[in-house]
A and B are shown apart, each in its own frame.
Chain A
Amino acid sequence: MKRVLALVLALLMAALTFGLAGCGAKTEETTTAAPDATQEATDAPRTIFTMGIDPEYPPFSYLGDDGDYTGFDVEVCKAVCEKLGWEFKVFGVNWDEKLVQLDAGECDCVWSGMTILDSMKEAGYVISNPYFDNEQVLLVKEDSPYQSAADLKGKDVAVQLGTSGESLLNDDLKELADSFGQVVTADSFLKCFTELAGNAVDAVFVDKPVADSYVAKNEGYRIIDEDFGAEQYGIAFRSGDATLCEQVEGAVEALVADGTYAAIAAKYPDIEGNLLYLK
């Protein structure tokens, strides 16, 4: 009797899921279509540009000492808006929902040390030219015995949900992830670092600039730098916003040309070397 019930439940669930998934796919098309329509319909010049950021992602985007959002990406975007005569706004996204929030129109782009993933392009998002060479590193405690990823066999590693590090551990680095004792996904970098500081994990798998910035500000940590595969940062726009993307890229290039870009970069020495526009 119980087995029959379980079977019925499982079938019901599968049916429901398939049914809903079907609907989900359809609505996805319509929602992505909706923003274009409004964009094309309103030929009126844009007045406000809302930048979607991860508010806890130094040095690219974070809450500054004065209580306003700042960081390399934020400063560049602000300069872009000035150049184009747009009102600049910041919207803190939930990083693991960032693309949903972008589609929903809560922000006009996601621009926050975002690693370009093939899956984003496949899903139809407009992605800018890459502007930063990134790599993943392992952050460990200075006094820990670990020197390489292999040393972390059977150990626990934290990674932020929704980051490229997490994607890598799920796909290209699946073998490495399986060699770890446990991959702990936290919803912010602060929590990843707290897990490490509090000895709940042995390492954090994280973007290099973030790790560099953390090591510079906190004592007792070091970085295991291994080649986990190269990746690049870019800006994501909704599928119909190719023109918007071009506008922003044009403005960035103008900032590079007049030296503003380099001036901003100079404030962030940890990442300066990997900025593609300055190479």
Chain B
Amino acid sequence: MDLLTIILKMAEGLEKTCAIFFLTLLFSIPLGMVVALLRGSKLKIVSGIARAYISVLRGTPLMLQLIAVTYGPYYLFGISVSRNKLIPVVIAFAINYAAYFAEIYRSGIESMPVGQYEAAEVLGYTKVQTFFKIILPQVIRRILPSITNEIVTLVKDTSMAFTVSYQEMFTIGKQIANSQTSFVPFIVAGVFYYVFNAIVSFVMGRVEKAMSYYKI
């Protein structure tokens, strides 16, 4: 198998890697916000559940969560394992990353000076208006570097989907490496991930720059 064939074959898997990446971000970013808000709830039960959620998902390996989400329903309830592995994979990634995002949001929200809330309250903004108009835009600006970190990690973590037999780029690379007794697919995989992350860093750098029109 020549190099071009290897690259093309792995590029097929790249589509699935991208699917994990974008769908995970699509679901985990808002889900993380929901968890962060629940964690800040005044109701002890609600905040306790959110706290436990974050603690469990951050305290156990993503690989374990992937296996639990994919095969757990079968072992526990006899529910068929999904044929489209993208579904359990994205669920596992999204709930895992939501926990990390929730903590980032929380730290961002807690770093906001109380004066911003008070100024908004005196001006008569509702709680919802205060959150979306005053607090959230500033929180996003503050947490963007941490978010970038997580996104870069996510690119690399997508390779973990191979543990539940999802045929993403790295799994295909391993298959080729086996059948060819060759190390080249791993180098190709490394280059793919590196370029992917270079693009992510570039885009996030642009976003950060666009948001730094004011000083904190």
Contact = CB atoms under 8 A, between A and B. Distances in A.
A13 B195 contact: yes
Given A171-B179, A198-B71, A184 B174 contact: no
A187 B175 contact: no
B123 interface: no
Contact of A200 (B82, B167, B183, B195): B82
Interface in B148-182: 162-165, 167, 171, 174-175, 177-181
A76 B108 CA distance: 61
Interface residues of A, number: 40
Given A17-B191, A21-B184, A187 B162 contact: yes
B3 interface: yes
Contacts, number: 92
B74 interface: yes
Interface in A164-192: 166-167, 170-171, 182, 184-187, 191
Interface stretch (A155-163, A221-229, A251-259): A155-163
Contact of B174 (A12, A18, A96, A117): A96
Nearest to A158: B165
B175 A170 contact: yes
A195 to B, nearest CB: 6
A200 B81 contact: yes
A119 B175 contact: no
B82 A185 contact: no
A13 B11 CA distance: 12
B174 A119 contact: no
A9 B192 CA distance: 10
Contact of A195 (B3, B165, B179): B165
A123 B180 CA distance: 10
B178 A167 contact: yes
Contacts of B71: 191, 194, 198
Contacts of B187: 17, 20-21, 24
25 contacts: A9-B195, A13-B195, A14-B3, A14-B7, A16-B191, A17-B3, A17-B187, A21-B187, A24-B183, A28-B183, A119-B180, A123-B181, A158-B165, A161-B174, A167-B178, A171-B179, A184-B167, A185-B171, A186-B164, A187-B162, A191-B165, A194-B71, A194-B75, A198-B71, A198-B79
Interface of A: 9, 12-14, 16-18, 20-21, 24, 28, 96, 99-100, 117, 119-120, 122-123, 156, 158, 161-162, 166-167, 170-171, 182, 184-187, 191, 194-195, 197-201
